[in-house]
Amino acid sequence: MNSKLATLGLCAYIAVSCLVAFFFPQSVLAFLSVEASLLLLYYVAAPRRVKIFLGALVLVVLLPVLGSVNGYYLEVAIQIGIYVALALGLNIVVGFVGLLNLGFVAFYAIDAYLWAIFGSPQANAFIPGGLFPLSPNWFFVFLLLSIVIGALTGALLGLPVLRLRGDYLAIVTLGFAEVVRALVNNLDKPVNLTNGPRGISPISKPPLFFQPLLEFFGLHVTEAKLYPLYFYFLILVLVCTIILVTRRLENSRIGRAWKAIREDEIAAAAMGVPVVRMKLLGFAVGASFASAVGVLFAAKQVFINPESFTFMESIGVLAMVILGGMGSIPGAILGATGVTILNLQLLKGMSLWLNGLRQSGAELTIPLLGSYSLSQLPAQFEPAKYERMVFGLILILMMIFRPQGVLPPTRERKQ
């Protein structure tokens, strides 16, 4: 009875929030309430099947529909997807294996550049024959290739540094990421591999192999409208695959070995866990997730340069994992979603609102102090300018009041 009521409530909530968002496409709050429906799905005690169905409905049908009304929503959703995938990858290294990695963005950068170089005319600069850009069909080959290359670079970085522990390892990973960034920044001479700080453009987008099918059904969608939807579904599939892989690894001897290493390396070894091999595997799996997202990111952006892969990116993803709850898959997802929404929507939305107030020239009357014209509000008050500060404050408050994160790992309940 209770679960039926919950299901009904959920359906009603989703319907209302989607309708509101549909008819008020400019309202940030309306879209936020749609996003909140997914969080609600996680918490409400409805049957598993219902939850999966409703989640799929929101993600596969409702969000794309809303996105075709307001394209910015799709952009937000794609960004969220990218960060969720990165956070899930880092969560394996930091949350499961317990190795602090401050340079996670390096793996993301390497494979973003991989597709950027070969999926654009850039490769002509060092491979003669005018073969490049490769046809968009190669995108999927590179996506698969990036998983392998990511795993290999992860393991290669792991090999020399996994003897280090804690702080020392963190410093080395930080250095690694800076080396990668410096390389892409400077490898424009003697041979122009990366085009240096000017970045690479235009990068091929993935092939629209399904377009004939759409035409067949009489759907004529312009490419400008189609590509955001396409990327949205690509990242959705990628994120779902990553979640599935992570869950299966977590609930196996590998996931248990990872956590055992995190808890006590010596005891883990004494219990028969091959510590070095398991750490390498963790590094490789995490890196392969980041790599796959990197390829997608390059194709989506069309233009990339070293600026996209700074230390702050690594720290940002780490903060998402920590805020969400280290070692917890729902935590990493929530952390990445929350922080991305905060940056892209909440703070920007507040700035817009404040700007609106300023331009309206309204007067604020405070008793005893007189009135104050809002048009005099200094531009420095714009919340978007305080993105990092607000973010930092949230981090500090979280670490004081909920150091284990919003959704820390849960234990199996009794059957």
Partner 1 sequence: MALLELRGISKRFGGLQALAGVSLELEDGMIASLIGPNGAGKTTLFNTLTGLYRPDEGEIHFQQRSLLGMNPDKITAAGISRTFQNIRLFSHMTVLENVLVGMHSRLKTSLPGILLRSTGFHIQENEARRRAMELIDLTSLSGREHEWAHQLSYGEQRRLEIARALAAAPQLLLLDEPTAGMNTTEAQALMTLFRKLIGNYVKAILLIEHNMRVVMGISDRVHVLDYGEKIAEGHPDEVRHDPRVIEAYLGQGIWSGNA
| Residues engaged in binding partner 1 (CB under 8 A) | 245, 248-249, 252-254, 256-257, 259-260, 262-264, 266-275, 281, 327, 409, 411-414
CB of 285 to partner 1, least distance (A): 9
**Choice between 9 and 274, CB closer to partner 1:** 274
Q: Give whichever of 215 and 264 is closer to partner 1, judged by the CB atom.
A: 264
Give the residue with the Cβ less far from partner 1, 175 or 408.
408
Nearer to partner 1, 205 or 256 (CB): 256
Task: At 200, give phi and psi (nearest 5°).
Answer: -115, 135
Query: CA 366 to CA 295: how far, in whole Å?
Result: 54
Q: Is 40 or 97 the residue whose CB approaches partner 1 more closely?
A: 97
Select from 25, 83, 91 the least CA-distant residue to 338: 83
Least Å distance, CB 262 to partner 1, is 8
Nearer to partner 1, 74 or 261 (CB): 261
Least distance in angstroms from the C-beta of 408 to partner 1: 9
Q: How far is the CB of 268 from partner 1 (least distance, A)?
A: 7
Closest distance to partner 1 from the beta carbon of 92 (Å): 14
**Please, what is the minimum distance in Å from the beta carbon of residue 53 to partner 1?**
22
CB atoms within 10 A of CB 321: 28
CB 99 to partner 1: min, Å: 16
CB 117 within 8 A of CB 123: yes
Provide the phi-psi class of 272: left if phi over 0, else alpha when psi is between -120 and 50, else beta: left
Q: Which residue lies nearer to partner 1 by CB, 47 or 274?
A: 274
Closer Cβ to partner 1, 157 or 260, answer by number: 260
CB of 245 to partner 1, least distance (A): 6
Q: Which is nearer to partner 1, 205 or 259 (CB)?
A: 259
In the numeric block, which tokens belong to residue 86? Answer: 């990165």
From the CB of 238, what's the least distance to partner 1, in Å? Answer: 16
